[in-house]
Every structure is written in structure tokens, then in C-alpha cells.
Copies of this chain bind each other. A is one copy, B any other.
Amino acid sequence: MSEGDKNTIDSVIENLISIYPLLSKSFTRSIRIKTNLNPGSLFILRILDRNGILSMSEIGCKLSMPKPHVTAQVDKLIVENMVERLVDPSDRRIVNIKLTKKGKIDFESIKVQISHEMRQSIETLDEYKVKTLFESSSQLREILSEIMTENNHLQQTCFKQL
């Protein structure tokens, strides 16, 4: 690897370390204020919305969330009637989770709620910047999803890939 590549990677790390708190502050506060959910259970809604059905362990793997925490968060979502547990007939130890109809509808409106300020900010940008924002966020998301597939290390190794 050349010296230039090394510097490029340094810059990437710098950028990511800067982006993280910007996103964090933008979302977590909206989530707390505008929903009665916490960020963790919202993450679970998001991956269920994307993946359909996931087992408890798969949720924990995808979110690097300890299994006891997954249980607690899913319990909350069940109380809210946003997800449901499904016993896997082929292996009755496995508990599969999926969004309910209410969960799907609620998640859509929550997304609108928590991104309201950010949406307004983005709308003030000129067309070119919005396009740049779209492309850069798409690319970053894709590559990060690709490389962030390492296992978690929580009570047991997580073998299944994201």
C-alpha cells in the first residue's frame, strides 16, 4: 500500500469520526422528543422494515446489540403492538420477529417525525448539493454496510453475517 493510500484512509477515518456525532445528535434527540421509543428499539424497527423477518440473534448481530438488550427492546415493541414474535416451526428455540401492520405504519410516520428538522435543513440546500448529499450518503452507506460485517463479541460469537 502506498503512502498516498495510507493518507487517504486516514482522511476517511477523520471524516467518519466527524460524521458520527453529527448524525448521533441529529437523530437521538428527535427520537427522544418525538417518540416514546428509544434509539435502540428504533434501530430494530429499521432492520425489520428492511429485512422482513429476523430472529432475536440476527437482530443482535446486525445491530451489535447484546442479546438481553434485544429481548428488552423487543418486549417494549410488543407492548406497543409494533412487532410480533413467531416461533420457528423448524427449530422451536428460535424466536422470529416481524413488524405488525401497525408497526409498519408507525415506523413510516416515526421516520417522518425524527427526520423533520433534518429534512427542513436539506430543503434549504441547492439542487446540486442535495444531489451530492444523496450520492455521497448512498455510496457511504453501501461501502460501510459492506465492511461493517464483523462479528460482535457479546456472550457468544455471532457467526451469521449481516
Contacts and interface: CB of A to CB of B under 8 A. Distances in A.
Q: A17, A124, A132 — which one has the most chain B CB atoms within 10 A of its CB?
A: A17
A139 B12 CA distance: 11
A118 B15 contact: no
A137 B15 contact: yes
Copy total for this chain? 2
Given A122-B147, A143-B129, A64 B19 contact: no
Interface in A109-162: 111, 115, 117-119, 121-125, 127, 129-141, 143-148, 150
Q: A12, A131, A150 — which one has the most chain B CB atoms within 10 A of its CB?
A: A12
A115 B17 contact: yes
Interface residues of A, number: 57
A22 B43 CA distance: 11
Contact of A136 (B20, B124, B125, B137): B137
Contacts of A13: 111, 115, 118-119, 122
Contact of A118 (B127, B129, B131, B147): B147
Contacts of A20: 20, 23-24, 27
Contacts of A79: none
Given A13-B119, A21-B63, A135-B139, 13 more contacts: A5-B130, A8-B131, A12-B130, A12-B134, A16-B137, A17-B46, A17-B111, A18-B46, A20-B20, A21-B43, A121-B148, A129-B143, A133-B140
